Amino acid sequence: MELNVLFHKEKNKLKVIIEGEVDTFTAPKLRDQLDTIEINPHVFIELELSQVVYMDSTGLGVIVAIYKKVTRQNGNLKLVGLSNRLKRLFAITGLSELMNIEADVKVV
């Protein structure tokens, strides 16, 4: 499967939509795309992961790397749209305790 990375910028928010599989073969492409982001404290970066159908440890490594880079440069990063499978992956690895991951909003 392919990996697509789309960027949408609105004012001070950069939404990065990631689609497809993030694995050993596609992770370098994702890393290269994320490395193009200009990080500063005034831009809020949102990684939209709702269209990610699979992620392995290499993909997690790319997400951790961008998280560290953004944190070092006093930027803001949030992960949104995680499937239950991805939420579980981030919870098992302990990353959900470190990263800003959007919680489900329940409508009553």
Q: What does the pLDDT look like over 62-108, one tens digit per residue?
A: 999 999 999 999 999 999 999 999 999 999 999 999 999 997 644 43
Q: What is the CA radius of gyration of the chain?
A: 13
**Domain range enclosing 53:** 3-98
In a domain, 46, yes or no: yes
Mean pLDDT of the chain: 92
Residue 58 binned pLDDT confidence (cut-offs 50, 70, 90) = very high
Distance CA 35, CA 32 (A): 5
- Do strands 76-80 and 13-22 pair parallel, antiparallel, or not at all (unpaired)? unpaired
Residue percentage of the chain with pLDDT more than 90? 88
Domain contains 32: yes
For tokens 């001070």, name the residue. 12
Question: Given this model, what pLDDT does residue 67 score?
Answer: 96
- Would residue 27 count as lying in a domain? yes
Give the containing element (helix H, strand E) for 60. helix 57-72
Nearest CA-CA partner of 38 in 63, 62, 59, 9: 9
**What is the number of structural domains in the chain?**
1
User: CATH number for the domain including 88?
Assistant: 3.30.750.24
Measured CA to CA in angstroms, residue 61 lies from 24, 43, 64, 67, 78 at distances of 10, 23, 5, 10, 16
Q: What is residue 107's predicted lDDT score, i.e. its pLDDT? A: 40
